[in-house]
Amino acid sequence: MTRVCFQLWIDPDRLDEYRRRHAAVWPEMLRELEASGRRNYSLFLRPDGLLIGYYETDSVVRSDAHLAASRVAAVWEEHMADLFVAQSGRADQTATVLDEVFHLEDQLAGIGALQTPDERNPSEGDDA
């Protein structure tokens, strides 16, 4: 499973409209996202227009290809295009993907399991 985090910029003057459109995403678009293999998909929006998205998938290549070929996704992206800060191409295909630098479960797995209180860093104290 791959975790994907990306960023885009929404026009700060259009944030309310962006929120409104995402409050009721078209059912057919929701089904396309699911069919693409994306799950645990969330979007986070900062007041200055920075949009951070996160999803998990078994194959980024298959997920991207599915949405790129989807007429529903193309129409949705066209519907949303006026809300983004100037960009070339569809937002779902031009977003900046961020590098993952830390994942708690991966590091816990690397040490074998959760630590017992006796294994904790002494600086953590008993109430950590």
Residue 66 appears among annotated catalytic residues:
no
Q: Quote the DSSP letter at residue 44.
A: E
Q: Pick the catalytic residue from 22, 66, 79, 103.
A: 22
Reduced to 3 DSSP states, what percent helix, strand and coil does the chain have, rounded to the nearest 5? Answer: 50, 20, 30
Listed in sequence order, the DSSP H helices in the chain are 15-23, 27-35, 60-69, 71-80, 91-94, 104-111
Q: CA–CA separation, 84 vs 24, rounded Å?
A: 18
- Catalytic positions are 22
